[in-house]
């Protein structure tokens, strides 16, 4: 059974690296589908993908880029297929291109050009990525061999738990989007690249991976504190001073966030911060540096959208370390979940001088909107609000459904830090 990945519909951070990783993992085919994308953005993405994988890529739009990269697979979405005369299809085929298309009604198989190598058909299940995009068939569907003018690849809502049904329905393969980009489980392409053997299927079922995005995110087991302190350095105070004050005040989750210093100096600070946190039985999180988090045996690591991708960092720090990921938009949150983040630092809430190059400010409205979206989609991952947060903001912020808050300046500048932490602990429970 062929297994095909469909790209995320938007351009996402580190996309070329993620695509290269999927291919390295054994993916045999990727369809690049970016509805309405501009040619320059697509060109940039393809240029960043390892050329060794170009033969495995199919383009859904801007076919004119194919020649430049030696890409030989072209996809004709339904509309484009209907606009393209048969003789053109045959020309492409004769020029050595492998062509594919999409149909949404199984009767369209009749009369489909033989120039196509395969067609997508779906949605076969309710879509994971598009809400309200309902399936075109029922569980008892069976695709008769005689009906197959060309190979038929099932698409729509396919995930580990229903993949076996694709075989039973007699499709020739499965194309996946949501299960790859929106699911917390890292879809192990290598496991299923050649089709699922009965033993593999049994293994998957035994591992109880019959979960989709909702329950996947709910299955988070690592305990995340609700008050995070972010270290800072000022003219009067070093990072270690700020950490010492937060610990004395009762903080149990400390993030060492050092900017613009050589990695060796950060490593030294991290060793000292670890010893300090250990003496207060507090957890140390290292910002930005996976190797340092590993070297000092930190409890966790925090990575932003421009830092090392979480799956890559996971290989360095191991499966047990807690990893947090930054998000500013809903798509960032989905991406972080798909990468296996254990919690999300969502912000900034308001302007702050503690961080430069802030993402767009969310304000209370932003949190209300994003938390509402998460709740609608039954996604449950600890969300930590961050950025210019004052103790007085916490009661209202908590009504949005966030798990906790991260603070730096407000805590250090507080008159009575111990009292502030005690009050915050009460507000956050």
Ligand X SMILES: Cc1ncsc1CCOP(=O)(O)O
Ligand Y SMILES: Cc1ncc(COP(=O)(O)OP(=O)(O)O)c(N)n1
Residues making up the binding site for Mg(2+): 288, 307
Indicate the residue among 163 and 406 with the shorter CB distance to ligand Y: 406
Quickly list H helices, 134-234.
163-168, 178-181, 189-192, 198-206, 213-218
What gap in Å lies between CA 98 and CA 74, rounded to an integer?
6
Q: How many residues contact ligand Y, by CB under 6 A?
A: 15
Residue 324 interacting partner from ligand Y, Mg ion, ligand X, none (CB closer than 5 to 8 Å by kind): ligand Y
Tell me how far apart the alpha carbons of residues 326 and 303 are, in angstroms, rounded to a whole number.
Answer: 6
Applying CB under 6 A, among 159, 355, 403, 417 the residue interacting with ligand Y is 355
State yes or no: residue 304 binds Mg ion (CB under 5 A): yes
- Piece in contact with ligand Y (CB under 6 A), picked from 182-190, 232-240, 301-309, 407-415: 301-309
Using the rule CB under 6 A, is 386 a contact of ligand Y? yes
Pick between residue 61 and residue 408 the one whose CB is nearest to ligand X.
408
- Decide if residue 307 touches Mg ion (CB under 5 A): yes
Judged by CB under 6 A, which of 7, 72, 183, 326 binds ligand Y? 326
Binding residues for ligand Y restricted to 184-243, rule: CB under 6 A: 228
**One of 30, 42, 333, 384 touching ligand Y (CB under 6 A):** 384
Rule CB under 6 A: which residues touch ligand X?
A: 230, 257, 347-348, 352, 354-355, 386-389, 407-410
If one asks whether residue 324 binds ligand Y (CB under 6 A), the answer comes out as yes
Decide if residue 393 touches Mg ion (CB under 5 A). no
**Which has the closest alpha carbon to 370: 327, 422, 408, 413?**
327
Give just the sign of the alpha carbon dihedral 70, 76, 80, 84: positive
**DSSP codes of every residue in 86-130:** HHHHHHHHHTT-EEEEEESSGGGGTT--TTEEEEEE--SS--SSS
Closer residue to ligand Y (CB): 29 or 274? 274
- Kind plus residue range of the DSSP H or E element containing 69: helix 66-69
Residue nearest to ligand X (CB): 352
Give the DSSP H/E element, type plus range, for residue 374: helix 363-376
The entry of ligand X, ligand Y, Mg ion, none that residue 173 binds, CB within 5 to 8 Å by partner kind: none
- Stretch binding ligand Y (CB under 6 A), from 64-72, 173-181, 243-251, 300-308: 300-308
Which of ligand Y, ligand X, Mg ion, none does residue 409 bind to, with CB < 5 to 8 Å depending on kind? Answer: ligand X
Task: Return the closest-CA partner of residue 246 out of 237, 348, 290.
Answer: 237
Size of the site for Mg ion (CB under 5 A): 3
CA–CA distance, 155 with 106 (Å, rounded to integer): 13
d(CA 251, CA 410): 13
In the list ligand X, ligand Y, Mg ion, none, the entry touching 354 (Cβ below 5 to 8 angstroms by class) is ligand X
Of residues 33 and 336, the one with the C-beta less far from ligand Y: 336
* Shortest Å distance, C-beta 155 to ligand X: 38
Partnered with residue 73 across adjacent β-strands are 58, 98
Which is closer to ligand Y, CB of 152 or CB of 341? 341
Displacement of CA 25 from its chain's centroid (Å): 17
Q: Label residue 33 left, alpha or beta by phi (over 0 means left) and psi (-120 to 50 means alpha).
A: beta
- Distance separating alpha carbons of residues 234 and 138, to the nearest angstrom: 63
Residues near Mg ion (CB under 5 A) are 288, 304, 307
């Amino acid at each position: 059974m062929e297994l095909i990945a469909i790209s995320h519909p938007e351009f996402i951070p580190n996309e070329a690296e993620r695509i290269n990783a999927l291919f390295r993992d054994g993916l045999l085919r990727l369809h690049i589908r970016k509805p309405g994308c501009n040619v320059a953005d697509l060109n940039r993405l393809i240029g960043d993908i390892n050329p060794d994988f170009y033969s495995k890529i199919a383009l859904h739009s801007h076919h004119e880029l194919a020649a430049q990269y030696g890409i030989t697979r072209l996809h004709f979405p339904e509309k484009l297929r209907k606009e393209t005369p048969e003789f053109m299809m045959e020309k492409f085929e004769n020029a050595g291109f492998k062509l594919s298309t999409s149909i949404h009604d199984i009767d369209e198989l009749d009369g489909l050009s033989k120039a196509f190598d395969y067609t997508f058909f779906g949605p076969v299940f309710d879509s994971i990525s598009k809400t309200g995009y309902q399936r075109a068939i029922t569980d008892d569907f069976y695709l008769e061999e005689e009906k197959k003018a060309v190979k038929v690849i099932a698409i729509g809502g396919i995930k580990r738990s229903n993949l076996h049904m694709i075989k039973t329905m007699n499709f020739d393969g499965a194309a996946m989007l949501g299960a790859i980009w929106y699911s917390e489980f890292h879809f192990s392409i290598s496991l299923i690249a050649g089709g699922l053997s009965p033993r593999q299927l049994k293994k998957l079922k035994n591992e109880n991976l019959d979960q989709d995005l909702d329950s996947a995110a709910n299955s988070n087991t690592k305990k995340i504190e609700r008050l995070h302190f972010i270290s800072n350095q000022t003219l009067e105070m070093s990072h270690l001073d700020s950490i010492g004050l937060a610990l004395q005040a009762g903080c149990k989750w400390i993030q060492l966030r050092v900017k613009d210093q050589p990695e060796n100096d950060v490593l030294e600070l991290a060793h000292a911060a670890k010893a300090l946190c250990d003496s207060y039985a507090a957890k140390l999180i290292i910002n930005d540096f996976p190797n340092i988090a590993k070297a000092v045996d930190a409890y966790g690591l925090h990575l932003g959208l421009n830092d090392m991708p979480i799956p890559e960092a996971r290989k360095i720090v191991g499966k047990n370390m807690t990893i947090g990921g930054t998000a500013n938009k809903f798509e960032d949150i989905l991406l972080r979940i798909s990468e296996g983040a254990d919690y999300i630092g969502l912000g900034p809430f308001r302007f702050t001088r503690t961080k430069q190059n802030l993402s767009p400010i969310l304000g209370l409205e932003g949190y209300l909107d994003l938390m509402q979206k998460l709740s609608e989609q039954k996604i449950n991952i600890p969300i930590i609000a961050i950025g210019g947060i004052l103790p007085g903001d916490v009661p209202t912020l908590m009504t949005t459904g966030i798990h906790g808050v991260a603070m730096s300046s407000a805590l250090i500048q507080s008159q009575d830090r111990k009292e502030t932490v005690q009050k915050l602990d009460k507000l956050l429970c």
